[in-house]
Structure 1
Amino acid sequence: MKLGIGIGWRPEIADAVEALPGIDWVETVAENVCTGHLPDSLVRLRDRGVTVVPHGVALGLGGAERPDAGRLADLAARAELLGSPLVTEHIAFVRAGGPRTASPGLEAGHLLPVPRTWDALDVLCENVRIAQDSLPVPLALENIAALVSWPDEELTEGQFLAELVERTGVRLLIDVANLHTNHVNRGEDPATALDELPVEAIAYVHVAGGVEKDGVWHDTHAHPVTRPVLDVLAELRSRVDPPGVLLERDDDFPPASELADELTTIRATLDRAATLGALRKETPSTPAATAGRVASRPAPGAEGSAHADSVRDRVAVAQTALLSALVAGTPAPHGFDHHRLGIQSRALAAKRAGVVAKVAPELPEILGAGYRDAFLAYARTRPMSAGYRRDALDFAEGLLIVGRPADAAARRRLTHWWQDRAGARPPRRTTRLVRAARAALVGR
């Protein structure tokens, strides 16, 4: 199916997206769409014949647990509501811990890389098949950007994606900005990945901006698209004509004219790459797509459910150890780069602070300039376990327990805010003392 040129629809730029010329389709974050009421902007776009694709971020198909049936049902409902020809998600894990590891459940609030191992591939493939059976339209999965690398990986990114497609028939959403990110942060050549993966399985392509700081590329989706990312897009287009290409922007939204300019640049890049690709010596596509293939290991289903569960247990232990190091301050697992883990940990905490400020804008208003430092201090000892709105309530409660903020008027405002949303009275003095003592013990 040909999608054409599109842009990520976000409420902050809804009017601009509607007015942009030459937009064939849009993509919206699935979890931000209420099935009971579509935003008027999306309704108008859909009525104009603009295709709308829901893009999920919360399934965690790369995680050790099987996909949550409720989350799958919600994603299916959004696809049907929008009349979408496909839905997309990520090759990532977003939570860990729980009964399988006899440890507290942890939420990353971010897309984290799965190890490119046979175990992780076995788990991912089963999860993908479960998702495919639950969705009314085809599924495409996106490669993600990563700051950290797993030790002792057994497959390259291209090989991992090729095996995934071979086993499940899933489509691919290739993010060229993420290929560039992994080139800078992990030394992985985008051209090699493109040679190894099955480009004929591409459903569409993401293009997004980022920024480099101290030798680390941050995939921000809040900066203009850079020339190196466009070069990777050109590399991809020289191999295949992707059905769709989409510009992503999630923050620090520029004027509509700048978005239009970026779309014009993307179109020009595709046109030039198509011309150069046509001039190349023609070579069969199959050898190129399978050049990096390795012999497949049998899927765990052939050996029984007990073996499949033992594979999941191994993946669960590894992912829980990594996520715990990132959000709970536990020791870094063996083989990981401690410096990179520190960068990722700080980035996750900063993202939490930013998202909580968006879902609960009253908090930075009440706390003023001290909001960010107070939240980061809270995040060092309180991993997220139930989403950002719960995180905001827990943060406010934690401040009230220790008698903050110091300003009495601000503390009253915070108390009233907490009461309105928690549906209960703030903890009494005895409860506060007990919780404070527990927190002190945990922090030792």
Structure 2
Amino acid sequence: MKLGTGIGWRPEIADTVEALPGIDWVEAVAENLCEDHLPASLVRLRERGVTVVPHGVSLGLGGADRPDPGRLAGLAARAELLGAPLVTEHIAFVRAGGPLSASPVLEAGHLLPVPRTWDALDVLCENVRIAQDSLPVPLALENIAALISWPGEELTEGQFLAELVERTGVRLLIDVANLHTNHVNRGEDPSTALDELPVEAIAYVHVAGGVEKDGVWHDTHAHPVTRPVLDVLKQLRSRVDPPGVLLERDDDFPPAEELAGELAAIRSALASAAAAPPAGRQRPARAPEPAPRAAGARERTGLSQTALLSTLVAGTPAPDGFDRRRLGVQSRALAGKRAEVVAKVAPELPEILGGGYREAFLAYARNRPMSAGYRRDALGFAEHLLVTDRPADEAARRRLTRWWQERAAPRPPRRGTRLVHAARTALLGR
């Protein structure tokens, strides 16, 4: 299906998206939509004939556990509500722990890279087949940006994606900004990845902005698209004419004219690459078949992912073979994103705490992993403040108490709650 040129639909820029010229389709984060009704803006876009594709972020198909049936049902319901031609998700894990590793479930609140190993590939392929059987439309999976590399990887990114497509028939959502991110952060050549992956399986392409700090590229989706990212887009276009290309922007939204300018730059990059003579391309040989392996790929994958995530969100010692400095960068990035999202889902908290919100939340989160989503995280943070007699300002503490009472319980947590909280923290080693 030919999609054309699109943009990520977000509530903050819904009016702008509706007014932008030349928008053929939009993509909406699936988890931000209800299962039984659509925002008025999306209804109007669909009435105009604009295609809407739901883009999931929470399935965690690269995780060791099989996909959650409830999450799959929710994604399927949104696809049907939108009349979408396909749905998309990520090649990533977002949680770890549980029965496979005999440990508490940990939530990353972010997309984390799976190891490019045969074990992880086996698990991913089975999870993808389960998802495909549960969805009413085709599935496409996105390559992700990463700050860290797994030790002992057995396949390149292109080989990993090629094997995934060969085994499952899944489509690909190629994010050229993520290819650039992995070039800066992990030294991976985008040209090599594009040569190795099956470009004919591409359903569409993402283009997004980021920023480099201290030699690390952060895929922020909150900065303009850079020239190096457009250069990767040109490389991809010289190999294949993608069915669709979409501009992503998730924060710090610029004026409409700037978004229109970025879309124009994307169209220009595609046109210039299409005008160039196509380079001869021969598909590299498939990755060599692995040696026979013992059963238990899920268990091995679960243990390794839990160990890594525990380091990132709970401060446990780093697993062998990882770059400890880079793990620190990733850990701080996860904590910072967690603070930002909690501030969005519970904007009253930074209003009550003022300039001390971020510091207080990061101190709270340092050894308290998220385990039940951002809204419960906001409640946990407020409870932590109240049982530790904060904030010091009495009026602010009364406001926080009222906020907590309205959402959690008729009375603020008292000394008994504090003792239970302390015992639970000690038991979980947090």
* Same structural fold, with TM-score higher than 0.5 when normalized by the shorter chain: yes
**2:171–2:201: 8 Å Cα contact kept in structure 1?**
yes
Question: Is 1:393 paired with 2:379?
Answer: yes
Report what 1:356 is aligned to. 342
Q: Is 1:432 the equivalent of 2:425? A: no
The answer as to 2:106 corresponding to 1:106 is yes
CA distance in 2, matches of 1:172, 1:434: 47
Distance across 1 between alignment mates of 2:311 and 2:163: 30
Asked if 1:6 is matched to 2:9, the reply is no
Deviation at 1:425, TM superposition (A): 2.2
Partner deviation per Cα, 1:320-372 (whole Å, 9 max, x = no partner): 00000000000000000000000000000000000000000000000001100
Structure 1 counterpart of 2:325, from 335, 339, 345: 339
Native 8 Å contact 2:158 2:192 kept in 1 = yes
- The yes-or-no answer on 1:115 pairing with 2:99 is no
Give the Cα–Cα distance (whole angstroms) in 1 for the partners of residues 370 and 170 of structure 2: 31
Are the equivalent residues in 2 in contact too, given 1:7–1:246 (CA < 8 A)? Answer: yes
Match of 1:67, as an amino acid? P
Aligned counterparts of 2:220 and 2:151: Cα–Cα separation in 1: 25
Q: 1:312 aligns with which of 279, 286, 298?
A: 298
TM-score (norm. length: structure 2):
0.97
**Change over 3 Å in CA distance of 1:441–1:299 after alignment to 2:** closer
Indicate the residue corresponding to 1:154 in structure 2.
Answer: 154
The alpha carbon displacement at 1:381 in A equals 1.5
Residue 146 of structure 1 aligns with an amino acid whose one-letter code is A
* Residue 294 in structure 1 maps to residue 281 in structure 2: no
For 2:25 and 2:214, locate their aligned partners in 1 and report how far apart those are by CA, in whole Å. Answer: 36
Post-superposition shift, 1:442?
6.9
Q: Which amino acid aligns with 2:163?
A: E
Equivalent position of 2:391 in the other structure: 405
Q: Contact 1:86 / 1:137 at 8 angstroms: preserved in 2?
A: yes
1:210-249 equivalent positions in 2, closer than 5 A: 210-249=210-249
Tell me the CA shift for residue 411 of structure 1.
0.6
- Given that 2:37 and 2:81 are in contact with CA atoms closer than 8 Å, whether structure 1 keeps it comes out as no
Spell out the pairing of 1:25-424 with structure 2 (5 A cutoff): 25-276=25-276, 279-280=277-278, 283=280, 287-288=282-283, 291-297=284-290, 307=295, 310-424=296-410
Distance in 2 between residues matched to 1:319 and 1:151, nearest whole Å = 12
Runs of 4+ in 1 over 6 A off after TM superposition: 440-444
Do the aligned partners of 1:401 and 1:433 also contact (CA within 8 Å) in 2?
Answer: no
AA aligned opposite 2:286: R
**What is the deviation of 1:429?**
2.0
- Residue identity in the other structure for 1:395: F
C-alpha separation between the residues in 2 aligned to 1:46 and 1:395? 39
Contact 1:195–1:292 (CA under 8 A) maintained in structure 2: no
Q: Which secondary structure does the structure 1 equivalent of 2:366 belong to?
A: helix
AA aligned to 1:294 is A
Q: Does the 8 Å CA contact 1:158/1:292 hold for their aligned counterparts?
A: no
Counterpart Cα distance in 2 of 1:130 and 1:340: 34
Q: Deviation at 1:208?
A: 0.0
Tell me which amino acid in the other structure corresponds to 2:266: I
Shift, 1:69, TM fit: 0.3
Q: Report the Cα distance in structure 2 between the residues aligned to 1:430 and 1:70, rounded to whole angstroms.
A: 35
Amino acid at match of 1:19: A
TM-score (norm 1): 0.94
Q: Distance in 2 between matches of 1:123 and 1:437?
A: 36
Contact 2:106–2:369 (CA under 8 A) maintained in structure 1:
yes
Name the CA distance, whole Å, in 1 between partners of 2:375 and 2:292. Answer: 39
1:94-114 Cα shifts (integer Å, max 9, x gaps): 000011111010000000000
Q: Is the 1:401–1:436 Cα contact (8 Å) retained in structure 2?
A: no
Distance in 1 (alpha carbons) for counterparts of 2:419 and 2:66: 40
**Structure 1 residues 215 and 180, CA gap change in structure 2 (3 angstroms):** same
Aligned partner letter, 1:6:
G
Kindly provide the amino acid, as one letter, of the partner of residue 368 in structure 1.
G
Instruction: For structure 1, list consecutive stretches of 5 or more residues without a partner in the other structure.
Output: none
* 1:22-43 residue CA offsets vs partner (Å, 9 max, x unmatched): 0000000000001222100000
Structure 2 unaligned spans of 5+: none
Percent identity between the aligned chains?
A: 81
- Partners of 1:376 and 1:206 lie apart in 2 by 31
Q: Deviations over 1:301-322 (max 9, x none)?
A: xx9xxx3xx1100000000000
Write the letter of the residue equivalent to 1:296: E
**Helix, strand or coil at the partner of 2:238:** helix
- Structure 1 Cα separation of the partners of residues 205 and 144 of structure 2: 12
Write the deviation string for residues 358-406 of structure 1: whole angstroms up to 9, x where unpaired: 0000000000011000000000011000000000000000000000001
1:205 offset after TM fit, Å? 0.1
Does the 8 Å CA contact 2:97/2:302 hold for their aligned counterparts?
Answer: yes
Aligned-pair RMSD on alpha carbons?
A: 1.6
Q: Could you give the per-residue CA deviations for residues 29-69 of structure 1, whole angstroms, max 9, x where no partner exists?
A: 00000122210000000010000000000000000000000
Deviates more, 1:188-197 or 1:429-438: 429-438
After superposition, the C-alpha distances for 1:387-437 in whole angstroms (9 at most, x for unaligned) are 000000000000000000011111111011011111342222233245346
| Deviation of 1:439 (Å) | 4.3
Q: Hey, what's the Cα distance between the residues in 2 that align with 1:31 and 1:337?
A: 33
SS in structure 2 at match of 1:174: strand
Equivalent AA in structure 1 for residue 149 of structure 2: S
Aligned equivalents of 2:73 and 2:420: distance in 1?
A: 41
